Amino acid sequence: MFYTPGEAVARTGFSLDTLRYYERIGLLDGIERNAVGQRVFSDDDLAWLEVLRCLRDTGMPIARMQRYADLARVGDETFAERAALLEEHDRDIEARIAALREEQARIREKIDWYHRQLPG
């Protein structure tokens, strides 16, 4: 099944500009075109965009996303490298979560302080 760019936007939540950008920088590869030259996206393309969404939403830098995409295009022999790249990203996420938890503790302390200042 193929999807128009508008349908791909609706299904993925990416903007059309982002899809074009991802194609230009090599994150999207081999996007088909219909008879009139319009891009059409396959189910595999949409599944790949879900992976890119996860990586982007968890803060992976574009350069690392490009490296992951390059490795994925090579094939199964890059499984170990891809796993290592994702493990590194996972550690980065853990560090950001820990930092946010520390900041959240400060915010909660301030909330408690305000509650103690209220009459009553």
Q: Report pLDDT digits (tens) over 61-107.
A: 999 999 999 999 999 999 999 999 999 999 999 999 999 999 999 99
34-57 tens-digit pLDDT: 999 999 999 999 999 999 999 999
| CA–CA separation, 77 and 116 (whole Å) | 60
**120 pLDDT band (50/70/90 cuts)?**
confident
> What is the average per-residue pLDDT within 3-23?
97
C-beta separation of 29 from 73 below 8 A = yes
Q: What is the pLDDT of residue 91?
A: 98
Domain ranges of the chain: 2-117
Torsion of CA 61, 65, 70, 71, to 10 degrees: 110
State the pTM of this model. Answer: 0.87
Burial of 81 (0-12, 13-18, 19+ CB in 10 A): middle
CATH class of 2-117: mainly alpha
Span 98-120, average pLDDT: 96
Contact 71, 81 (CB under 8 A): yes
| Cα 73 to Cα 75: distance, rounded to the nearest angstrom | 5
Answer positive or negative: Cα dihedral of 62, 59, 82, 92. positive
CB 53 within 8 A of CB 14: yes
